[in-house]
Structure 1
Amino acid sequence: MNLHALRIFVEVASRGSVTEAAFALSISQPAVSAQIRKLENDLDMTLLIPDGRGISLTYEGRFLFEKARRIYDWEREIESQLTEIKQGKKGRLRISSTYLPSHYLVPQWLAQYKREYEGVDVEIRTRNSMQSIELLLSCEVDVAIIIKESWDELPITRIHLTDVSYWFILPAHHPLAGKEIRMEQLVEEPFLLREQGSSTRDWLFALCREHGVKRPQVGMQYHGLVESIHSVRAGYGTMLAPALAVREMVERGEVGRVTVPGVEIKRPLYVCTRDDETDQRPVVAQFLEMVKREKLT
Protein backbone atom coordinates (compact mmCIF):
# COMPACT_ATOMS: atom_id res chain seq x y z
CA MET A 1 0.00 0.00 0.00
CA ASN A 2 1.32 3.41 -0.96
CA LEU A 3 1.43 5.50 2.23
CA HIS A 4 1.60 8.78 0.31
CA ALA A 5 -1.62 7.91 -1.47
CA LEU A 6 -3.14 6.73 1.81
CA ARG A 7 -2.36 10.07 3.44
CA ILE A 8 -4.08 11.91 0.59
CA PHE A 9 -7.08 9.59 0.89
CA VAL A 10 -7.39 10.33 4.61
CA GLU A 11 -7.28 14.06 3.91
CA VAL A 12 -9.99 13.78 1.23
CA ALA A 13 -12.19 11.54 3.41
CA SER A 14 -11.89 13.78 6.46
CA ARG A 15 -12.80 16.90 4.47
CA GLY A 16 -15.39 15.31 2.16
CA SER A 17 -13.93 17.19 -0.78
CA VAL A 18 -11.12 16.66 -3.28
CA THR A 19 -10.82 20.42 -3.78
CA GLU A 20 -10.44 21.19 -0.07
CA ALA A 21 -7.97 18.35 0.38
CA ALA A 22 -5.87 19.63 -2.54
CA PHE A 23 -5.82 23.12 -1.00
CA ALA A 24 -4.86 21.76 2.45
CA LEU A 25 -2.06 19.62 0.97
CA SER A 26 -0.84 22.37 -1.36
CA ILE A 27 -1.04 20.13 -4.42
CA SER A 28 -3.23 20.24 -7.52
CA GLN A 29 -6.71 18.74 -7.64
CA PRO A 30 -5.80 16.42 -10.57
CA ALA A 31 -2.81 15.14 -8.55
CA VAL A 32 -5.13 14.30 -5.64
CA SER A 33 -7.57 12.49 -7.92
CA ALA A 34 -4.71 10.55 -9.54
CA GLN A 35 -3.44 9.35 -6.17
CA ILE A 36 -6.93 8.23 -5.12
CA ARG A 37 -7.33 6.27 -8.36
CA LYS A 38 -3.90 4.69 -7.83
CA LEU A 39 -4.86 3.64 -4.29
CA GLU A 40 -8.17 2.15 -5.51
CA ASN A 41 -6.35 0.25 -8.25
CA ASP A 42 -3.76 -1.07 -5.79
CA LEU A 43 -6.51 -2.28 -3.43
CA ASP A 44 -8.86 -3.34 -6.23
CA MET A 45 -11.83 -1.64 -4.61
CA THR A 46 -13.79 1.60 -4.84
CA LEU A 47 -13.25 3.92 -1.90
CA LEU A 48 -14.99 7.17 -2.94
CA ILE A 49 -18.09 7.98 -4.96
CA PRO A 50 -19.26 11.41 -6.17
CA ASP A 51 -21.90 13.04 -4.00
CA GLY A 52 -23.10 16.36 -5.40
CA ARG A 53 -20.22 18.78 -5.21
CA GLY A 54 -18.32 16.55 -2.81
CA ILE A 55 -17.65 12.87 -2.24
CA SER A 56 -18.97 10.05 -0.09
CA LEU A 57 -17.20 7.01 1.26
CA THR A 58 -18.14 3.51 0.25
CA TYR A 59 -18.31 0.82 2.92
CA GLU A 60 -14.73 -0.11 2.04
CA GLY A 61 -13.74 3.55 2.08
CA ARG A 62 -15.21 4.08 5.58
CA PHE A 63 -13.41 0.98 6.86
CA LEU A 64 -10.08 2.14 5.46
CA PHE A 65 -10.57 5.70 6.68
CA GLU A 66 -11.28 4.61 10.27
CA LYS A 67 -8.18 2.45 10.35
CA ALA A 68 -5.85 4.74 8.42
CA ARG A 69 -6.59 7.93 10.32
CA ARG A 70 -5.33 6.25 13.49
CA ILE A 71 -1.92 5.97 11.81
CA TYR A 72 -1.79 9.70 11.24
CA ASP A 73 -3.23 10.49 14.67
CA TRP A 74 -0.33 8.47 16.10
CA GLU A 75 2.06 10.25 13.77
CA ARG A 76 0.88 13.64 15.04
CA GLU A 77 1.14 12.42 18.61
CA ILE A 78 4.67 11.16 18.02
CA GLU A 79 5.68 14.44 16.39
CA SER A 80 4.17 16.39 19.29
CA GLN A 81 5.97 14.31 21.90
CA LEU A 82 9.27 14.47 20.02
CA THR A 83 8.94 18.27 19.98
CA GLU A 84 8.38 18.22 23.75
CA ILE A 85 11.48 16.03 24.16
CA LYS A 86 13.56 18.48 22.08
CA GLN A 87 12.26 21.33 24.24
CA GLY A 88 13.03 19.43 27.45
CA LYS A 89 9.38 19.31 28.47
CA LYS A 90 9.31 15.52 28.31
CA GLY A 91 11.91 12.83 28.93
CA ARG A 92 13.76 11.08 31.73
CA LEU A 93 16.36 12.48 34.12
CA ARG A 94 18.38 9.99 36.18
CA ILE A 95 20.46 11.25 39.09
CA SER A 96 22.79 9.63 41.58
CA SER A 97 23.76 11.64 44.63
CA THR A 98 25.84 11.14 47.73
CA TYR A 99 23.95 11.25 51.00
CA LEU A 100 24.26 14.87 52.10
CA PRO A 101 23.07 16.51 48.86
CA SER A 102 20.48 13.75 48.37
CA HIS A 103 18.86 14.52 51.73
CA TYR A 104 19.39 18.27 52.06
CA LEU A 105 19.92 19.91 48.65
CA VAL A 106 18.61 17.79 45.77
CA PRO A 107 14.97 17.70 47.01
CA GLN A 108 14.60 21.48 46.75
CA TRP A 109 16.33 21.50 43.35
CA LEU A 110 14.03 18.81 42.03
CA ALA A 111 10.93 20.49 43.47
CA GLN A 112 11.78 23.60 41.46
CA TYR A 113 12.71 21.54 38.40
CA LYS A 114 9.42 19.62 38.44
CA ARG A 115 7.42 22.82 38.79
CA GLU A 116 8.98 23.99 35.53
CA TYR A 117 9.12 20.61 33.74
CA GLU A 118 6.23 18.52 35.02
CA GLY A 119 6.39 16.09 32.09
CA VAL A 120 9.94 14.90 32.86
CA ASP A 121 10.26 11.62 34.75
CA VAL A 122 12.93 11.91 37.44
CA GLU A 123 14.70 9.04 39.15
CA ILE A 124 17.20 9.60 41.97
CA ARG A 125 19.48 7.08 43.64
CA THR A 126 21.33 7.75 46.88
CA ARG A 127 24.78 6.15 46.92
CA ASN A 128 28.26 6.84 48.24
CA SER A 129 30.76 8.69 46.05
CA MET A 130 32.38 5.60 44.53
CA GLN A 131 29.03 4.04 43.68
CA SER A 132 27.74 7.31 42.20
CA ILE A 133 30.78 7.56 39.93
CA GLU A 134 30.32 3.95 38.81
CA LEU A 135 26.66 4.60 37.97
CA LEU A 136 27.60 7.68 35.96
CA LEU A 137 30.37 5.98 33.99
CA SER A 138 28.19 2.93 33.25
CA CYS A 139 25.51 5.27 31.81
CA GLU A 140 22.97 4.16 34.44
CA VAL A 141 22.49 7.80 35.47
CA ASP A 142 22.83 11.11 33.61
CA VAL A 143 24.10 13.25 36.47
CA ALA A 144 26.03 12.53 39.68
CA ILE A 145 26.10 14.97 42.61
CA ILE A 146 29.12 14.21 44.75
CA ILE A 147 31.12 15.54 47.68
CA LYS A 148 34.72 14.48 47.05
CA GLU A 149 38.21 15.96 47.24
CA SER A 150 40.51 13.69 45.24
CA TRP A 151 39.66 12.50 41.74
CA ASP A 152 41.38 9.94 39.55
CA GLU A 153 41.81 10.60 35.85
CA LEU A 154 38.24 9.82 34.86
CA PRO A 155 36.21 10.88 31.79
CA ILE A 156 34.01 13.12 33.93
CA THR A 157 33.17 16.81 33.67
CA ARG A 158 32.81 18.45 37.09
CA ILE A 159 31.12 21.72 38.01
CA HIS A 160 32.03 23.00 41.48
CA LEU A 161 28.90 24.21 43.24
CA THR A 162 30.00 25.08 46.77
CA ASP A 163 32.07 23.97 49.76
CA VAL A 164 30.29 22.19 52.59
CA SER A 165 31.42 22.64 56.21
CA TYR A 166 31.82 19.51 58.35
CA TRP A 167 31.77 19.28 62.14
CA PHE A 168 32.75 16.66 64.68
CA ILE A 169 29.69 15.75 66.75
CA LEU A 170 29.09 13.49 69.75
CA PRO A 171 26.22 12.91 72.22
CA ALA A 172 24.90 16.04 73.93
CA HIS A 173 25.68 14.71 77.44
CA HIS A 174 29.28 13.75 76.55
CA PRO A 175 31.86 15.48 78.81
CA LEU A 176 33.74 16.77 75.73
CA ALA A 177 30.65 18.42 74.19
CA GLY A 178 31.28 22.09 73.47
CA LYS A 179 35.02 21.84 74.10
CA GLU A 180 38.15 22.31 72.02
CA ILE A 181 40.30 19.16 72.07
CA ARG A 182 43.37 17.70 70.39
CA MET A 183 43.12 15.28 67.51
CA GLU A 184 44.78 12.64 69.69
CA GLN A 185 41.91 12.85 72.17
CA LEU A 186 39.25 12.80 69.49
CA VAL A 187 40.35 9.54 67.87
CA GLU A 188 40.08 7.75 71.23
CA GLU A 189 36.32 8.11 71.03
CA PRO A 190 34.24 5.37 69.34
CA PHE A 191 33.53 6.65 65.84
CA LEU A 192 30.56 5.97 63.63
CA LEU A 193 32.12 5.33 60.25
CA ARG A 194 30.55 5.19 56.82
CA GLU A 195 30.95 2.18 54.56
CA GLN A 196 33.89 1.43 52.25
CA GLY A 197 33.75 3.74 49.24
CA SER A 198 32.46 6.71 51.25
CA SER A 199 34.50 9.85 50.60
CA THR A 200 33.73 11.05 54.16
CA ARG A 201 35.38 7.92 55.54
CA ASP A 202 38.41 8.41 53.25
CA TRP A 203 38.68 12.09 54.20
CA LEU A 204 38.62 11.30 57.93
CA PHE A 205 41.44 8.79 57.53
CA ALA A 206 43.43 11.33 55.47
CA LEU A 207 42.95 13.90 58.24
CA CYS A 208 44.34 11.43 60.77
CA ARG A 209 47.41 10.83 58.60
CA GLU A 210 47.93 14.56 58.20
CA HIS A 211 47.96 15.02 61.99
CA GLY A 212 50.09 11.95 62.61
CA VAL A 213 47.50 10.15 64.71
CA LYS A 214 46.08 6.66 64.49
CA ARG A 215 42.76 5.97 62.85
CA PRO A 216 39.78 6.28 65.20
CA GLN A 217 38.35 3.17 66.79
CA VAL A 218 35.24 1.93 65.02
CA GLY A 219 32.14 1.95 67.19
CA MET A 220 29.71 1.13 64.39
CA GLN A 221 29.60 1.28 60.61
CA TYR A 222 26.60 2.70 58.81
CA HIS A 223 25.59 2.70 55.15
CA GLY A 224 23.95 6.10 55.41
CA LEU A 225 24.31 9.61 56.77
CA VAL A 226 20.98 10.12 58.53
CA GLU A 227 21.22 6.83 60.43
CA SER A 228 24.65 7.80 61.77
CA ILE A 229 23.44 11.18 62.99
CA HIS A 230 20.44 9.63 64.73
CA SER A 231 22.77 7.21 66.53
CA VAL A 232 24.76 10.14 67.93
CA ARG A 233 21.55 11.89 68.94
CA ALA A 234 20.44 8.67 70.66
CA GLY A 235 23.57 8.80 72.81
CA TYR A 236 26.34 6.82 71.15
CA GLY A 237 29.35 7.57 69.04
CA THR A 238 31.34 10.39 67.49
CA MET A 239 31.26 11.26 63.81
CA LEU A 240 32.26 13.73 61.14
CA ALA A 241 29.00 15.23 59.93
CA PRO A 242 28.01 18.01 57.52
CA ALA A 243 27.05 21.20 59.34
CA LEU A 244 24.07 21.55 57.04
CA ALA A 245 22.63 18.35 58.50
CA VAL A 246 23.39 18.89 62.20
CA ARG A 247 23.48 22.65 62.81
CA GLU A 248 19.93 22.85 64.17
CA MET A 249 20.47 19.75 66.36
CA VAL A 250 23.56 21.39 67.87
CA GLU A 251 21.66 24.64 68.46
CA ARG A 252 18.80 22.75 70.16
CA GLY A 253 21.24 20.82 72.34
CA GLU A 254 20.30 17.44 70.83
CA VAL A 255 23.92 16.65 69.94
CA GLY A 256 27.21 18.17 71.01
CA ARG A 257 30.05 19.56 68.94
CA VAL A 258 33.78 19.48 69.52
CA THR A 259 36.43 21.49 67.71
CA VAL A 260 40.07 20.75 67.00
CA PRO A 261 42.54 23.67 66.89
CA GLY A 262 43.62 24.46 63.33
CA VAL A 263 41.09 22.08 61.78
CA GLU A 264 38.40 23.73 59.67
CA ILE A 265 36.79 21.20 57.39
CA LYS A 266 35.23 22.29 54.12
CA ARG A 267 34.52 19.74 51.42
CA PRO A 268 33.76 20.49 47.74
CA LEU A 269 30.40 19.64 46.20
CA TYR A 270 30.34 18.87 42.46
CA VAL A 271 27.71 18.10 39.86
CA CYS A 272 29.19 15.66 37.36
CA THR A 273 28.43 14.45 33.84
CA ARG A 274 30.27 12.22 31.37
CA ASP A 275 32.93 13.80 29.15
CA ASP A 276 31.65 12.08 26.01
CA GLU A 277 28.31 13.89 26.19
CA THR A 278 29.28 17.27 24.82
CA ASP A 279 25.71 17.85 23.64
CA GLN A 280 23.56 17.23 26.69
CA ARG A 281 20.03 16.00 26.29
CA PRO A 282 17.65 18.92 26.93
CA VAL A 283 16.35 17.53 30.25
CA VAL A 284 19.93 17.20 31.52
CA ALA A 285 21.04 20.61 30.21
CA GLN A 286 18.07 22.32 31.86
CA PHE A 287 18.74 20.64 35.21
CA LEU A 288 22.40 21.69 35.06
CA GLU A 289 21.46 25.28 34.24
CA MET A 290 19.05 25.36 37.16
CA VAL A 291 21.69 24.00 39.56
CA LYS A 292 24.20 26.59 38.30
CA ARG A 293 21.65 29.33 39.04
CA GLU A 294 21.26 27.93 42.56
CA LYS A 295 25.03 28.16 42.93
CA LEU A 296 24.96 31.84 42.06
CA THR A 297 22.17 32.54 44.56
Structure 2
Amino acid sequence: MNFHQLHIFFTVSEKGSFSAAAHALHMTQPAVTMQVQSLEEYFGARLFNRSTKRIELSEAGRALLPFARKSIELIRETDLAMSKFTHMVQGRLQLGASLTIGEYMLPRMLGPFGQQYPNITISMKVMNTAQILEEIINHQLNFGLIEAPVHHPDMHIEAVMRDELKLIVPAKHALAEAEVVSVDEVLKYPFILREPGSGTRQVMEEQFARKNIDMKHDIRTVMELGSTGAIKSAVEAGLGITLLSPSSVKHEVALGLVKILDIEELSFHRQFYSIYLKSALLPISAVTFLTFLREQQLDK
Protein backbone atom coordinates (compact mmCIF):
# COMPACT_ATOMS: atom_id res chain seq x y z
CA MET A 1 0.00 0.00 0.00
CA ASN A 2 1.14 3.54 -0.76
CA PHE A 3 -0.24 7.04 -0.69
CA HIS A 4 -0.70 7.14 -4.47
CA GLN A 5 -3.09 4.20 -4.29
CA LEU A 6 -5.07 5.78 -1.45
CA HIS A 7 -5.33 9.02 -3.42
CA ILE A 8 -6.66 7.16 -6.46
CA PHE A 9 -9.14 5.21 -4.33
CA PHE A 10 -10.36 8.44 -2.74
CA THR A 11 -10.77 10.13 -6.13
CA VAL A 12 -12.76 7.20 -7.54
CA SER A 13 -15.08 7.30 -4.53
CA GLU A 14 -15.51 11.09 -4.91
CA LYS A 15 -16.14 10.97 -8.66
CA GLY A 16 -18.28 7.84 -8.68
CA SER A 17 -16.55 6.21 -11.64
CA PHE A 18 -13.13 5.04 -12.81
CA SER A 19 -13.33 7.11 -16.00
CA ALA A 20 -14.13 10.35 -14.15
CA ALA A 21 -11.33 9.68 -11.66
CA ALA A 22 -8.89 8.98 -14.51
CA HIS A 23 -9.81 12.31 -16.11
CA ALA A 24 -9.37 14.20 -12.81
CA LEU A 25 -6.00 12.55 -12.13
CA HIS A 26 -4.71 12.82 -15.73
CA MET A 27 -4.31 9.03 -15.86
CA THR A 28 -5.64 6.31 -18.15
CA GLN A 29 -8.65 4.38 -16.92
CA PRO A 30 -6.80 1.02 -16.97
CA ALA A 31 -4.07 2.54 -14.78
CA VAL A 32 -6.65 3.74 -12.25
CA THR A 33 -8.35 0.33 -12.26
CA MET A 34 -5.03 -1.45 -11.76
CA GLN A 35 -4.09 0.70 -8.75
CA VAL A 36 -7.46 0.10 -7.09
CA GLN A 37 -7.14 -3.63 -7.73
CA SER A 38 -3.66 -3.60 -6.15
CA LEU A 39 -5.13 -1.95 -3.08
CA GLU A 40 -7.91 -4.54 -2.95
CA GLU A 41 -5.33 -7.32 -3.17
CA TYR A 42 -3.35 -5.74 -0.34
CA PHE A 43 -6.40 -5.67 1.97
CA GLY A 44 -7.89 -8.90 0.65
CA ALA A 45 -11.29 -7.21 0.24
CA ARG A 46 -13.27 -5.55 -2.52
CA LEU A 47 -13.46 -1.80 -2.06
CA PHE A 48 -16.14 -1.15 -4.69
CA ASN A 49 -19.26 -2.99 -5.77
CA ARG A 50 -19.17 -2.74 -9.55
CA SER A 51 -22.14 -2.96 -11.92
CA THR A 52 -22.61 -2.11 -15.59
CA LYS A 53 -24.01 1.37 -14.81
CA ARG A 54 -22.26 2.55 -11.67
CA ILE A 55 -19.92 1.69 -8.83
CA GLU A 56 -20.55 1.99 -5.11
CA LEU A 57 -18.32 1.69 -2.09
CA SER A 58 -18.39 -1.72 -0.43
CA GLU A 59 -18.48 -2.06 3.35
CA ALA A 60 -14.67 -2.32 3.32
CA GLY A 61 -14.46 0.74 1.04
CA ARG A 62 -16.64 2.80 3.37
CA ALA A 63 -14.36 1.82 6.27
CA LEU A 64 -11.23 2.83 4.31
CA LEU A 65 -12.59 6.17 3.01
CA PRO A 66 -12.04 8.33 6.15
CA PHE A 67 -8.46 7.06 6.46
CA ALA A 68 -7.77 7.89 2.80
CA ARG A 69 -9.19 11.36 3.37
CA LYS A 70 -6.99 11.82 6.45
CA SER A 71 -3.91 10.74 4.50
CA ILE A 72 -4.61 13.36 1.82
CA GLU A 73 -5.14 16.05 4.44
CA LEU A 74 -1.92 15.03 6.19
CA ILE A 75 0.07 15.30 2.96
CA ARG A 76 -1.37 18.77 2.36
CA GLU A 77 -0.49 19.84 5.90
CA THR A 78 3.02 18.45 5.45
CA ASP A 79 3.48 20.38 2.20
CA LEU A 80 2.19 23.49 3.92
CA ALA A 81 4.58 23.16 6.87
CA MET A 82 7.62 22.40 4.72
CA SER A 83 6.94 25.01 2.04
CA LYS A 84 8.44 27.67 4.34
CA PHE A 85 11.81 25.96 4.00
CA THR A 86 11.71 24.98 0.33
CA HIS A 87 12.87 28.19 -1.32
CA MET A 88 14.13 26.26 -4.32
CA VAL A 89 10.59 25.27 -5.28
CA GLN A 90 10.11 25.20 -9.04
CA GLY A 91 7.11 24.95 -11.30
CA ARG A 92 4.34 26.79 -13.08
CA LEU A 93 1.46 28.07 -10.98
CA GLN A 94 -1.87 28.68 -12.71
CA LEU A 95 -4.46 30.55 -10.67
CA GLY A 96 -7.63 32.54 -11.14
CA ALA A 97 -8.49 35.66 -9.16
CA SER A 98 -11.65 37.70 -8.92
CA LEU A 99 -11.55 41.35 -9.98
CA THR A 100 -10.56 43.20 -6.78
CA ILE A 101 -8.01 40.57 -5.76
CA GLY A 102 -6.49 40.17 -9.21
CA GLU A 103 -6.27 43.86 -10.09
CA TYR A 104 -5.42 45.48 -6.76
CA MET A 105 -4.31 42.93 -4.14
CA LEU A 106 -2.07 40.40 -5.83
CA PRO A 107 0.06 42.51 -8.20
CA ARG A 108 1.95 44.21 -5.35
CA MET A 109 2.50 40.83 -3.67
CA LEU A 110 3.88 39.09 -6.75
CA GLY A 111 7.13 41.07 -6.67
CA PRO A 112 8.15 40.02 -3.14
CA PHE A 113 6.98 36.46 -3.84
CA GLY A 114 9.06 36.33 -7.02
CA GLN A 115 12.14 37.51 -5.14
CA GLN A 116 11.63 34.84 -2.49
CA TYR A 117 10.76 32.05 -4.95
CA PRO A 118 12.39 32.99 -8.29
CA ASN A 119 11.88 29.55 -9.83
CA ILE A 120 8.07 29.61 -9.66
CA THR A 121 6.34 31.00 -12.74
CA ILE A 122 2.88 32.44 -12.11
CA SER A 123 0.09 32.65 -14.67
CA MET A 124 -2.95 34.54 -13.33
CA LYS A 125 -6.36 35.00 -14.94
CA VAL A 126 -8.67 37.74 -13.66
CA MET A 127 -12.27 36.57 -14.00
CA ASN A 128 -15.51 36.15 -12.06
CA THR A 129 -16.11 33.40 -9.52
CA ALA A 130 -18.24 31.26 -11.85
CA GLN A 131 -15.49 31.24 -14.48
CA ILE A 132 -12.86 30.39 -11.86
CA LEU A 133 -14.93 27.44 -10.65
CA GLU A 134 -15.38 26.15 -14.19
CA GLU A 135 -11.68 26.31 -15.03
CA ILE A 136 -10.68 24.60 -11.78
CA ILE A 137 -13.15 21.79 -12.44
CA ASN A 138 -11.73 21.43 -15.97
CA HIS A 139 -8.17 21.34 -14.55
CA GLN A 140 -7.16 24.54 -16.33
CA LEU A 141 -6.32 26.26 -13.02
CA ASN A 142 -4.61 24.92 -9.88
CA PHE A 143 -6.74 27.07 -7.58
CA GLY A 144 -8.66 30.33 -7.36
CA LEU A 145 -8.88 33.35 -5.06
CA ILE A 146 -12.36 34.79 -4.58
CA GLU A 147 -14.06 37.48 -2.49
CA ALA A 148 -17.08 35.55 -1.16
CA PRO A 149 -17.51 31.91 -0.09
CA VAL A 150 -19.03 29.43 -2.53
CA HIS A 151 -20.74 26.13 -1.83
CA HIS A 152 -19.72 23.41 -4.25
CA PRO A 153 -19.51 19.70 -3.36
CA ASP A 154 -16.20 19.18 -5.19
CA MET A 155 -14.44 22.26 -3.83
CA HIS A 156 -12.27 22.84 -0.80
CA ILE A 157 -12.59 26.45 0.41
CA GLU A 158 -10.31 28.16 2.89
CA ALA A 159 -9.96 31.72 4.21
CA VAL A 160 -6.55 33.14 3.29
CA MET A 161 -6.65 36.95 3.57
CA ARG A 162 -8.67 39.64 5.32
CA ASP A 163 -9.57 43.07 4.03
CA GLU A 164 -11.71 46.02 5.08
CA LEU A 165 -13.76 48.49 3.06
CA LYS A 166 -13.46 52.18 3.94
CA LEU A 167 -15.38 55.29 2.95
CA ILE A 168 -13.75 56.93 -0.08
CA VAL A 169 -14.57 60.58 -0.86
CA PRO A 170 -13.21 63.15 -3.35
CA ALA A 171 -10.33 65.24 -1.98
CA LYS A 172 -12.45 68.41 -1.99
CA HIS A 173 -15.59 66.80 -0.56
CA ALA A 174 -17.35 68.36 2.45
CA LEU A 175 -16.37 65.32 4.57
CA ALA A 176 -12.75 65.17 3.39
CA GLU A 177 -11.23 67.00 6.38
CA ALA A 178 -12.65 64.55 8.91
CA GLU A 179 -11.07 61.23 9.82
CA VAL A 180 -14.23 59.70 11.25
CA VAL A 181 -17.80 60.57 10.22
CA SER A 182 -21.19 59.52 11.54
CA VAL A 183 -23.60 57.30 9.65
CA ASP A 184 -26.15 60.12 9.49
CA GLU A 185 -23.60 62.42 7.85
CA VAL A 186 -22.66 59.79 5.28
CA LEU A 187 -26.25 59.11 4.29
CA LYS A 188 -26.71 62.75 3.23
CA TYR A 189 -24.52 62.25 0.15
CA PRO A 190 -24.99 60.30 -3.09
CA PHE A 191 -23.26 56.92 -3.41
CA ILE A 192 -21.55 55.21 -6.32
CA LEU A 193 -21.71 51.45 -5.81
CA ARG A 194 -20.59 48.17 -7.33
CA GLU A 195 -23.30 46.18 -9.05
CA PRO A 196 -25.59 43.86 -7.00
CA GLY A 197 -24.03 40.42 -6.60
CA SER A 198 -20.43 41.63 -6.40
CA GLY A 199 -18.37 40.73 -3.34
CA THR A 200 -17.90 44.40 -2.41
CA ARG A 201 -21.62 45.11 -2.64
CA GLN A 202 -22.46 42.03 -0.57
CA VAL A 203 -20.25 43.18 2.32
CA MET A 204 -21.87 46.63 2.26
CA GLU A 205 -25.39 45.25 2.27
CA GLU A 206 -24.70 42.90 5.17
CA GLN A 207 -23.15 45.56 7.39
CA PHE A 208 -25.72 48.25 6.63
CA ALA A 209 -28.50 45.73 7.33
CA ARG A 210 -27.06 45.17 10.82
CA LYS A 211 -27.62 48.87 11.47
CA ASN A 212 -31.14 48.67 10.03
CA ILE A 213 -30.10 50.73 7.03
CA ASP A 214 -32.02 49.80 3.89
CA MET A 215 -29.84 50.04 0.79
CA LYS A 216 -32.82 50.83 -1.43
CA HIS A 217 -34.50 53.49 0.69
CA ASP A 218 -31.85 54.97 3.00
CA ILE A 219 -28.96 55.27 0.54
CA ARG A 220 -29.15 57.54 -2.48
CA THR A 221 -27.42 55.58 -5.21
CA VAL A 222 -26.62 57.64 -8.29
CA MET A 223 -24.57 54.99 -10.13
CA GLU A 224 -23.95 51.25 -10.10
CA LEU A 225 -20.75 50.38 -11.92
CA GLY A 226 -19.17 47.05 -12.76
CA SER A 227 -15.55 47.75 -11.92
CA THR A 228 -13.51 49.33 -9.16
CA GLY A 229 -11.65 51.46 -11.70
CA ALA A 230 -14.86 53.02 -12.99
CA ILE A 231 -16.02 53.77 -9.44
CA LYS A 232 -12.72 55.45 -8.58
CA SER A 233 -12.94 57.67 -11.67
CA ALA A 234 -16.51 58.68 -10.80
CA VAL A 235 -15.55 59.52 -7.21
CA GLU A 236 -12.53 61.55 -8.37
CA ALA A 237 -14.89 63.51 -10.65
CA GLY A 238 -17.01 64.43 -7.61
CA LEU A 239 -20.05 62.42 -8.67
CA GLY A 240 -20.47 60.68 -5.31
CA ILE A 241 -18.82 58.75 -2.47
CA THR A 242 -18.23 55.02 -2.14
CA LEU A 243 -16.87 52.15 -0.07
CA LEU A 244 -13.75 50.44 -1.38
CA SER A 245 -10.68 48.63 -0.13
CA PRO A 246 -7.86 51.07 0.75
CA SER A 247 -5.58 48.78 -1.26
CA SER A 248 -7.43 49.76 -4.43
CA VAL A 249 -6.96 53.54 -3.94
CA LYS A 250 -3.33 53.77 -2.76
CA HIS A 251 -2.30 55.55 -5.96
CA GLU A 252 -5.20 58.02 -5.83
CA VAL A 253 -4.53 58.82 -2.17
CA ALA A 254 -0.84 59.44 -2.89
CA LEU A 255 -1.81 61.87 -5.66
CA GLY A 256 -4.24 63.70 -3.38
CA LEU A 257 -7.29 62.80 -5.46
CA VAL A 258 -9.34 61.02 -2.78
CA LYS A 259 -9.46 60.65 1.00
CA ILE A 260 -10.06 57.53 3.12
CA LEU A 261 -12.42 57.88 6.10
CA ASP A 262 -13.91 55.69 8.83
CA ILE A 263 -17.63 55.53 9.63
CA GLU A 264 -18.56 55.54 13.32
CA GLU A 265 -19.88 52.22 14.64
CA LEU A 266 -19.55 50.57 11.23
CA SER A 267 -16.79 48.28 9.99
CA PHE A 268 -16.80 46.49 6.68
CA HIS A 269 -14.46 43.56 7.17
CA ARG A 270 -14.38 40.82 4.59
CA GLN A 271 -12.55 37.58 4.02
CA PHE A 272 -10.90 36.39 0.82
CA TYR A 273 -10.90 32.66 0.07
CA SER A 274 -8.89 30.11 -1.84
CA ILE A 275 -10.73 27.31 -3.63
CA TYR A 276 -9.45 24.12 -5.22
CA LEU A 277 -10.66 20.60 -5.97
CA LYS A 278 -10.96 18.26 -3.00
CA SER A 279 -9.77 15.36 -5.14
CA ALA A 280 -6.64 17.10 -6.43
CA LEU A 281 -3.37 17.46 -4.58
CA LEU A 282 -2.11 21.01 -4.93
CA PRO A 283 1.41 21.25 -6.37
CA ILE A 284 4.03 22.45 -3.92
CA SER A 285 4.23 25.75 -5.84
CA ALA A 286 0.54 26.41 -5.08
CA VAL A 287 0.92 25.43 -1.43
CA THR A 288 3.93 27.75 -1.16
CA PHE A 289 2.02 30.66 -2.70
CA LEU A 290 -0.99 30.18 -0.41
CA THR A 291 1.32 30.06 2.61
CA PHE A 292 2.89 33.32 1.45
CA LEU A 293 -0.54 34.98 1.08
CA ARG A 294 -1.63 34.00 4.60
CA GLU A 295 1.36 35.85 6.00
CA GLN A 296 0.62 39.11 4.19
CA GLN A 297 -1.05 42.13 5.77
CA LEU A 298 -3.19 43.91 3.22
CA ASP A 299 -3.09 47.25 4.98
CA LYS A 300 0.70 47.56 4.68
Identify the TM-score tier after normalising by the shorter chain.
0.5 to 0.7
Q: Structure 1 length normalisation: TM-score?
A: 0.57
Q: Structure 2 length normalisation: TM-score?
A: 0.56
Give the aligned length. 207
Unaligned runs of 5+ in 2: 1-87
- Could you tell me whether the CA contact under 8 Å between 1:168 and 1:259 is conserved in 2? yes
Q: CA deviation at 1:275?
A: 1.7
Are 1:285 and 2:287 an aligned pair? yes
Aligned residue for 1:259, secondary structure, equals strand
CA–CA separation in structure 1 for the residues paired with 2:238 and 2:207? 25
CA–CA separation in structure 2 for the residues paired with 1:191 and 1:250? 19
Matched letter for residue 155 of structure 2: I
CA–CA separation in structure 1 for the residues paired with 2:276 and 2:248? 26
Aligned residue for 2:100, secondary structure, equals helix
Q: Rg larger in 1 or in 2?
A: 1
- Could you tell me whether the CA contact under 8 Å between 2:113 and 2:292 is conserved in 1? yes
Alignment partner, residue 105 of structure 1: 105
CA–CA separation in structure 2 for the residues paired with 1:126 and 1:157? 20
CA–CA separation in structure 1 for the residues paired with 2:285 and 2:238? 44
Candidates 250, 255, 259, aligned match of 2:258? 255
Aligned residue for 1:200, secondary structure, equals helix
Q: CA deviation at 1:119?
A: 6.9
Alignment partner, residue 228 of structure 1: 231
CA–CA separation in structure 2 for the residues paired with 1:292 and 1:176? 35
Q: CA deviation at 1:293?
A: 5.3
Candidates 260, 268, 281, aligned match of 1:265? 268
Aligned residue for 1:158, secondary structure, equals strand
CA–CA separation in structure 2 for the residues paired with 1:121 and 1:248? 27
- Could you tell me whether the CA contact under 8 Å between 1:94 and 1:142 is conserved in 2? yes
- Could you tell me whether the CA contact under 8 Å between 2:204 and 2:268 is conserved in 1? no
Aligned residue for 2:214, secondary structure, equals coil
Alignment partner, residue 190 of structure 1: 190
Deviation digits for residues 144-187 of structure 1 (CA, Å, limit 9, x no counterpart): 12233x54365433343332122111212221224444435534
Higher relative contact order (CA 8 A, sep 6+): 2
CA–CA separation in structure 2 for the residues paired with 1:159 and 1:199? 16
Q: CA deviation at 1:134?
A: 4.8
Aligned residue for 1:270, secondary structure, equals strand
- Could you tell me whether the CA contact under 8 Å between 1:191 and 1:220 is conserved in 2? yes
CA–CA separation in structure 1 for the residues paired with 2:221 and 2:241? 10
Are 1:275 and 2:278 an aligned pair? yes
CA–CA separation in structure 1 for the residues paired with 2:232 and 2:273? 23
